């Protein structure tokens, strides 16, 4: 298996794209640590599934917007597994509103989770990766960070920030044999999207040249590839998984 003996942290790993990433990393041999903020039952269920696949799993209650929580989780993974090789910054949220109605709370919370959360966990793991001179970081952004979206100035700004952050980190960490890349999904068939108004789905489908929404596992497959040695000469890249939605 491509990731045999590797240890990964996946933030926001209890549902949707994050859950698919956890399962695909485990399928390919990795032991996985995931955080949860409130959904303890989902985290426990997923950890049991990973263990049933013959891999180790660790769940940690941690808010990605907390710098201290990120530091503590990275240390807990080292204490539990003795190593750390992969970080997938997947946790994210949206809180939509047009800019002339958006509150300070809406702006701050999305930036704190989607952008600062990516920094917090990257900051927690990079001293480890530098010392061992190896590591893979994959940040989940969005095509809306590339193009912007009406009603999502906060989300688009945060995800655009993740793209710039990815490229800068790739420059800083390349000398230490650390690959840093981003994956930019389009509209993916998650529980949240299934609950969206039908008009939202229809507008997205009209943009997607393949004629269907993506599946969480289709994002996970790309993330896993970027975590393997097959992708060792890829860094600083943003790979779109959107069925042609952004063309």
Question: Strand 86-89 and strand 7-10: pairing?
Answer: parallel
Q: Tell whether the model's pLDDT for residue 195 goes beyond 80.
A: no
Domain 7-241 indexed as CATH 4.10.110.10: no
Contact predicate 241/217, CB 8 Å: no
Name the β-bridge partners of 35: 60
Query: Beta-carbon neighbour count of residue 241 at 10 Å?
Result: 21
Give 166's pLDDT tier (boundaries 50, 70, 90): very high
Q: Tell whether the model's pLDDT for residue 182 goes beyond 80.
A: yes
Whole-structure pTM value: 0.97
155 a catalytic residue: yes
Catalytic option among 121, 155, 176, 246: 155
The residue to which tokens 């907390």 are assigned: 66
So what's the pLDDT on residue 245? 95
For 14-43, the pLDDT digits (tens) are 999 999 999 999 999 999 999 998 889 999
For 70-119, the pLDDT digits (tens) are 999 999 999 999 999 999 999 998 898 899 999 999 999 999 999 999 99
């Amino acid at each position: 298996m491509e990731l045999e003996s590797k240890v990964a942290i996946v933030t926001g790993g209890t549902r949707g794209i994050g859950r698919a990433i956890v399962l695909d990393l485990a399928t390919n041999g990795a032991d996985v640590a995931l955080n949860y903020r409130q959904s303890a039952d989902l985290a426990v269920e997923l950890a049991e599934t990973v263990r049933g696949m013959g891999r180790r799993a660790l769940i940690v209650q941690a808010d990605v917007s907390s710098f201290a929580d990120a530091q503590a989780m990275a240390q807990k993974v080292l204490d539990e597994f003795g190593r750390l090789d992969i970080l997938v910054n997947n946790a994210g949220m949206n809180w939509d509103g047009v800019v002339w109605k958006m509150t300070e709370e809406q702006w701050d919370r999305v930036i704190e989770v989607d952008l600062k959360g990516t920094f917090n966990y990257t900051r927690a793991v990079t001293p480890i990766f530098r010392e061992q001179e190896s590591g893979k970081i994959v940040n989940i952004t969005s095509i809306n960070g590339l193009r912007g979206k009406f009603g999502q100035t906060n989300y688009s700004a945060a995800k655009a920030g993740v793209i710039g952050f990815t490229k800068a980190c790739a420059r800083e960490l390349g000398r230490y044999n650390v690959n840093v890349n981003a994956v930019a999904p389009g509209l993916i068939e998650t529980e949240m999207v299934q609950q969206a108004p039908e008009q939202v789905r229809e507008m997205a489908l009209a943009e997607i040249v393949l004629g269907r929404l993506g599946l969480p596992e289709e994002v996970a497959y790309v993330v896993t590839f970027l975590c393997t040695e097959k992708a060792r000469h890829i860094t600083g890249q943003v790979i779109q998984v959107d069925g042609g939605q952004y063309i």
